[in-house]
Amino acid sequence: MSISRPARLVAPAVLADGRGLSGGMLRQLFIGQCLVLALHLAWMPAWLVGLALLVAGYRLVQLRRGLPRAGILLRLAAVGGLLLALWLQFGTLGTMDGLVGLLLGVYLLKLLETHDRRDARVVVVIGLVATTVAFLHDQGIPMAAGALLAVAWLLQSLVWLAGATGLRQAWRETVWLLVLSAPLMIVLFVIFPRLGPLWSMPQMDRASTGLTDEISPGDIAELSRSDARAFRASFEGREPAPDERYWRVYTLSHFDGIRWSRATPEQLAATLERPVDAFVREAARSPWQSQEGARFSAELLLEPDSRPWRPTLGTPLASGERQRYLADGTLEGLTPLSSRSLMNLSSSGAPPTSPPAAGERWHRLLPESANPRTRALAERLWRESGGDPDVYLEAMMARFGEAPYRYTLSPPRLVGEHRVDDFLFDSQAGYCTYYASAAAVMARMAGIPARVVAGFLGGERNPDGHFTVRDYDAHAWVEVWRDDAWRRLDPTAVIAPERIEQGARAVDDGAEAFLADARFSPLRMREVGWANRMRLEWERLEYQWQRAVIGYQRESRRSMMAQLVGWWREAWDRLDALLPGRGALSTTLGLMAVLVVAGGLALLARRGWRHRRRQRDPQWLVGNLQSWLARHRLAARPGESPATHLRRIAPQAGPAGRALEECAQDLERLTYAPLEEAERHQRRRRLASRVAEVRRRLGRPGR
């Protein structure tokens, strides 16, 4: 008994009745919509899934029951409902999320009026655009892999619409198209620089660091609940030790008795009646600091942020491009970051040495009636220190190191009017902002200029050498003006030195608060060896992807092109050195190469010209088609004319039958009818088009 082979997988016909799309093609388009929508779901409203299912369900019922097409009123109502839903979701349609949601909604609703090949191609093109737009949300490896899958499916849909006859043929053509386009994509990526405004759009409601421009005791403690990544850094040369990893983001110099807030250069200029350039300068190097104090050179990979902050290891000295250098030793970009960006930075690793631009008096200001118990304590310590500021500061720091003060991630909440008093004399438990705020207030009470610095401390070192700084690394410390320089004071180093060495996770008290908002974070499995190694390896891979692919900018392009030219010159010099008579032989080889290239181009041009002439010959076109049909077991019979041959096999050719009939008709008209030149030209073009259609519909030999 013979065993029959399984039937080859064949999709339903693209057109159900020769005009309208079949159910199989609609299903193909719907699956493509699902793949594209999946790329956006982490940022878009979930009700878009319901919209996709509703539209697909309506088309399925319409197709099965033969219902009339969706009318103009139904389509207008659907678009109106989409606009209303997006407005309720985002409050406006002018943001990036609103515009992306509108694009996705129109993409899904387009299926309501998709009835023929042209409409289906429009749906696929919109899907390709929506796939590209997904990179505005994220440009990581998972997004790239998902986009590649979606593009492959959409290209397969185009192949079906072009006349594929089987699933195997459709996927073979799709893979072939992707393989052919890969070299061109690589060349375009390497040669042409990225165009920022076309690649990404600003997201002004997105802040990656979690820090704000004002803090009160307890604010940074909230960041210990998050594992969100703030930035990554890799160093050239020496890496900072754990106690040197103080990443300053901004300084807070105004205290109202409860909160510390930042005074912008513009606010300082207006308040102190001084020019703005006394507080900020735009340059590639700091005008406030000597460049000789550079200790660390780092490359930062910054996360998107709606604010212009740029973290620096100590005082910023120079960067690869123009930035806003503030006189208080902090750094700002000229614009917020709309996508991950690379920045080269040279820094001192120490507090600034420039005098306070706002004056020492500005950094001594305090509310007169706030925190009376703290003021009394400061006066007593000042008397005991004999009026020596350094002795006073040592006594103040020593007091923080005494019991019953303790460091905790879950401190009691302070709600009173005199919060520094409540902390120092009642709760005596807190996080870094509690101690930094109290230390700065006590320094000012003794007449010592002081300010709070907010930023990050530490960072996790990956085995490949780069550091990852996250929200839970947020930290606050104090700078005081002493001996013509700012001096760093960190009460945390006195109270909980393990926080400096190991980070926020090392604090036992309040461990339940650490990563409380990231319950499924892989960071919770640090102690599991294999899981931690997998996490670190993935972060390494993702970091290299961001640097080498997403961070590929104009400088990288120039560097790569220069490297390729250098390799070419080096290889040529080696070859030239191996051959005798180097000058004459090099010239000969060059001329031979030019002649070979010129001859190849001439041969290609001649073949193209001959092929073009043959394409205008109806007999050659049909003869070539007959040879092709013979390989499909549809050969002509002995003595059979070309037109008779094409008409005989037309009923056996399935979807290509009509094209074969028209080929036979056009051939006879061109051969025997007295036609005008214009009509003859039109017939020749139509014959070439029908021959191509026959080839496309019947497929390649062996399929």
Torsion-angle region of 140 (φ positive above 0: left; ψ -120 to 50: alpha; else: beta): beta
Smallest CA-to-CA distance from 206 within 189, 230, 184, 222 is with: 230
Residue with tokens 């000597």: 290
Residue 650 CA to its chain's centroid (Å): 53
Query: Can you name the residues that pair with 487 across neighbouring β-strands?
Result: 480
Render 350-386 in DSSP notation, one character per residue.
S---SPPTT-TTGGG---TTS-HHHHHHHHHHHHHTT
The span from the CA of 38 to the CA of 104, in Å, is 11
Burial class (CB in 10 A: 0-12, 13-18, 19+), 666: buried
Out of 40, 137, 466, 475, the active site residue is 475
Q: Which residues contact 391 (CB under 8 A, 6 or more apart)?
A: 385
Out of 138, 328, 490, 666, the active site residue is 490
The span from the CA of 601 to the CA of 293, in Å, is 60
497 residue type, one letter: P
Residue with tokens 């009470």: 445
Out of 137, 219, 432, 663, the active site residue is 432
Q: Which residues contact 525 (CB under 8 A, 6 or more apart)?
A: 531, 532, 535
β-bridge pairing 254-255 and 260-261: antiparallel
The span from the CA of 90 to the CA of 607, in Å, is 59
490 is catalytic: yes
Query: Can you name the residues that pair with 273 across neighbouring β-strands?
Result: none
Residue with tokens 């392009």: 557
DSSP code of 62? H
CA angle 552, 554, 557 (to 5 degrees): 70
Structure tokens at 616: 């205008």
475 is catalytic: yes
Measure the CA dihedral 275/280/281/285, to 10°: 150
Structure tokens at 584: 């004459």
363 is catalytic: no
The span from the CA of 507 to the CA of 466, in Å, is 24
CA angle 340, 346, 351 (to 5 degrees): 110
Catalytic residue IDs:
432, 475, 490
